[in-house]
Amino acid sequence: MHPADSLKNLISGGEIVMAPGAPDPLTARLVEQAGFPAVYMTGFGATASHLGLPDLGLMSQTEMTTQARNMARVVTIPIIADADTGYGGPGNIQRTVQEYMQAGVAAIHLEDQQQPKRCGQLAGIRLIPAEENVRRLKCAIEARGTGKLQVIARTDALPASGAEEAIRRANIYRDAGVDLVFVDGIKTIRDIETVARHVEGPKVVSIVDGNETTDLTAAQLGEMGFQVIFYAVSTLFSAVRAVQDTLSVLRRDGTPKARQSAMVTYQEYSQSVGLNDFQSLDDRFG
């Protein structure tokens, strides 16, 4: 079954789709091995792992779709990918949609920021007119044609213009024919409740570590009416802390021994990356 069909079936079947963010293909593997039904290819994480820089629209379309292809090669669960603003005008949007479909992702989200765009949690976001973004979304839908790809409309109006405008845009984008809508930049439970009450149809919510929204469970968010939940930075922030702690111990002690219990073993790591499969190939054909 195509990943887009798998994602669609999960949503239509009433399952709450928890999609942890993965900054790289290795993390995507770990997400699948942990039993999650989908993985989120976050632009925030991709920029961190690929460039070591903040999420300020620095990744190109080619870099992002290459990241998507690399993830799709190593997981079987649906990938929901950040496609930023589509990387330009209608021709760029068309190519972006086609490239992500060829990469094998299940869904992409397109946002209504001006270039240069930035992370939805940051200040200084600038929006394009909602009517212009409707045309861009319709371009993406036409570019998809009969292909298998879910199109998610993301609005960053909440931090830029407030809840009323975010809700207005989300509902307009839904009426444009997208599959799901996504109000980004949520930082409070009150904002989640407002979006849940006033945005109709299938919708996405992003839970970002460091604010109070982490108090809500996936079951509670499902009861509010959300179908897909992104945990965009949880794995990335956990990995950064773990690496910092190990480096601190190594610098202090001159050996990583005190951190051994916090690490996977060589054998466990080899299992995670599928070493046995390649050894089997060598045994049969080498």
Question: Residue 142 sits in a domain of what CATH number?
Answer: 3.20.20.60
pLDDT for the residue numbered 119: 67
Host domain of residue 264: 240-285
Q: What's the structural domain count of the chain?
A: 2
Q: Say if residue 173 is in the same domain as residue 279.
A: no
Q: Say if residue 16 is in the same domain as residue 52.
A: yes
Q: Say if residue 60 is in the same domain as residue 154.
A: yes
pLDDT in tens, 25-45: 999 999 999 999 999 999 999
Annotated catalytic residue, options 75, 108, 119, 221? 119
Tell me the mean pLDDT in the region 228-255: 97
Q: Say if residue 252 is in the same domain as residue 118.
A: no
Domain final residue, candidates 216, 233, 250 = 233
Q: Say if residue 27 is in the same domain as residue 95.
A: yes
Q: Say if residue 229 is in the same domain as residue 245.
A: no
Active site residue 139: no
Q: Say if residue 205 is in the same domain as residue 93.
A: yes
Q: Say if residue 168 is in the same domain as residue 252.
A: no
Q: Say if residue 123 is in the same domain as residue 247.
A: no
pLDDT at 121 over 90: no
Q: Is beta strand 107-111 parallel, antiparallel or unpaired with respect to 17-20?
A: unpaired
pLDDT in tens, 216-233: 999 999 999 999 999 999
Q: Where residue 123 falls among pLDDT bands split at 50, 70, 90?
A: low
